[in-house]
Amino acid sequence: MPGRQLGWIDFYNFSLNAPLVLDFSSIHPFSSEIFIMNKFVLPFALTALALLACGKKEEVAAPAASAPVAAATSEEKVLNIYNWPDYIPEGMIAAFEKETGIKVNYDTFETNEALNAKLVAGNTGYDIVVPGTAFSPAQVEAGFFQPLDRAKLKNYGNLDEAIMQALGKADPGNKHLVPWAWGFTTVGINRTKVEKALGKMPMPENAWDLVFKPEYTSKLKSCGIAYLDSPTEIMPPALHYIGKDAYSNDPADHKAAADMLGKVRKDIRIFSSTMIDDVAGGKACAVVGWSGDINIAAGRAKDNGSKDVIEALLPSTGGMIFFDSMAITKDAKHPANAHAFIDFYLRAESGAAVSNEMSYPTANKAALAQIKPEVSGNKTIFIDAATAAKMVPPGKFTNEGREAMANAYTAFKKGK
Q: Is residue 297 a contact partner of residue 226, using CB atoms and an 8 Å limit?
A: no
- pLDDT (tens digit per residue) in 346-363: 999 999 999 999 999 999
CATH number for position 262: 3.40.190.10
Amino acid 358 reads: M
Residue 229's domain comprises 184-320+395-414
- Weakest mean pLDDT among 11-15, 185-189, 193-197, 275-279: 11-15
Q: Is residue 413 a contact partner of residue 230, using CB atoms and an 8 Å limit?
A: no
- pLDDT (tens digit per residue) in 224-250: 999 999 999 999 999 999 999 999 999
Average pLDDT value over all residues in the chain: 85
**pLDDT at residue 49, as a whole number:** 41
**pLDDT at residue 29, as a whole number:** 27
What are the strands, taking DSSP E only, across 247-367?
Answer: 270-272, 286-290, 310-312, 320-328
Average pLDDT over residues 386-408: 91
More confident of the two residues 74 and 59: 74
- Weakest mean pLDDT among 27-31, 55-59, 88-92, 205-209: 27-31
- The Cα–Cα gap between 298 and 189 comes to 10
- The Cα–Cα gap between 192 and 208 comes to 18
SS3 content of the chain, % helix, strand, coil (to 5): 40, 15, 45
**pLDDT at residue 69, as a whole number:** 56
**pLDDT at residue 64, as a whole number:** 44
More confident of the two residues 55 and 181: 181
Answer whether residue 174 shows pLDDT above 90. yes
**pLDDT at residue 394, as a whole number:** 85
**pLDDT at residue 81, as a whole number:** 98
- pLDDT (tens digit per residue) in 13-70: 333 333 333 332 322 222 333 222 233 334 444 444 443 333 333 333 333 445 555 5
Q: Flag whether 241 is in a domain.
A: yes
Average pLDDT over residues 209-215: 98
Q: Flag whether 326 is in a domain.
A: no
Average pLDDT over residues 151-179: 93
Answer whether residue 163 shows pLDDT above 90. no
More confident of the two residues 150 and 70: 150
Q: Flag whether 287 is in a domain.
A: yes
Q: Flag whether 223 is in a domain.
A: yes
Q: Is 415 left (phi over 0), alpha (psi -120 to 50) or beta?
A: left
Average pLDDT over residues 378-400: 90
**pLDDT at residue 323, as a whole number:** 87
**pLDDT at residue 70, as a whole number:** 52
**pLDDT at residue 409, as a whole number:** 97
Q: Is 349 left (phi over 0), alpha (psi -120 to 50) or beta?
A: alpha
Average pLDDT over residues 194-212: 97
- pLDDT (tens digit per residue) in 276-301: 999 999 999 999 999 999 999 999 99
Q: Flag whether 100 is in a domain.
A: no
Number of domains the chain is built from: 1
Average pLDDT over residues 328-357: 97
Average pLDDT over residues 145-169: 93
- Weakest mean pLDDT among 58-67, 193-202, 269-278: 58-67
List helix spans (H) across 199-230.
Answer: 209-212, 214-220
**pLDDT at residue 250, as a whole number:** 97
Q: How confident is the model at residue 106 (pLDDT cuts 50, 70, 90)?
A: very high
pTM of the model: 0.79
Where b means 16+ CB within 10 Å and e means fewer, 56-68 reads: eebebeebeebbe
